[in-house]
Amino acid sequence: MASTVAAFTHLARTHPDHGPALFELANALDADGQEALAERHYRQALDLGITGDRQRRCVVQLASTLTELGKPDDVLLLLVDVGAEHPEWAEVGVFRAIAEHRAGRPNTAVAQLLSVITEHNGNQDLDRYRAAWREAVSAIQSSEHDSVE
């Protein structure tokens, strides 16, 4: 992984105003366990105005990194803002629901998920994150013991 980080570091230094280069550097740093540096480069890439699928992936990966860094308020701010700007990005809504649950707001989380389901049923972009969501479901189920009274 060190060679990948080195290659993307060189690319980003050579092209400091190229959002895609900074995004790829952030990915490499994230994969290498350097989340704090990855956060900085994800944010720089977004500030430079990357667009389309790369922007969407950057937002989701930044949210994941912020979660790993223990910044739940930052995660929610990011996802609420981006969700308002891009309501068509269904995966952002699902990750927001996960963040709401982690923040101790299960009712808001359920409402958010229901909103995504009703607005985006059949959206192929959701398939990309299915494994991550299964992992989140498993974690929620193992940590929460709902009781019916």
Q: Which H or E element spans position 61? A: helix 52-68
Query: Which pLDDT belongs to residue 51?
Result: 92
Domain 1-70 homologous superfamily, CATH: Tetratricopeptide repeat domain (1.25.40.10)
Residue 42 structure tokens: 């994800």
In degrees, rounded to 5, the angle at the alpha carbon of residue 115 between the alpha carbons of residues 63 and 80 is 35
Query: Which pLDDT belongs to residue 147?
Result: 45
Domain range summary for the chain, segments of one domain joined by +: 1-70, 71-141
In degrees, rounded to 5, the angle at the alpha carbon of residue 8 between the alpha carbons of residues 20 and 58 is 35
Cα 37 to chain centroid distance, Å, stands at 16
How much is the pTM?
A: 0.75
Query: Which pLDDT belongs to residue 144?
Result: 59
User: Tens-of-pLDDT digits for all 149 residues of the chain?
Assistant: 788 899 899 988 999 999 999 999 999 999 999 999 999 999 999 999 999 889 999 999 999 999 889 898 899 999 999 989 998 888 889 889 989 988 898 989 888 888 887 777 666 766 777 777 778 777 777 775 554 44
In CATH, what number does 71-141 get? 1.25.40
Query: Which pLDDT belongs to residue 15?
Result: 93
**Domain 1-70 shares a fold with domain 71-141:** yes
Query: Which pLDDT belongs to residue 149?
Result: 46
Nearest-angstrom CA–CA distance, 57 and 116: 18
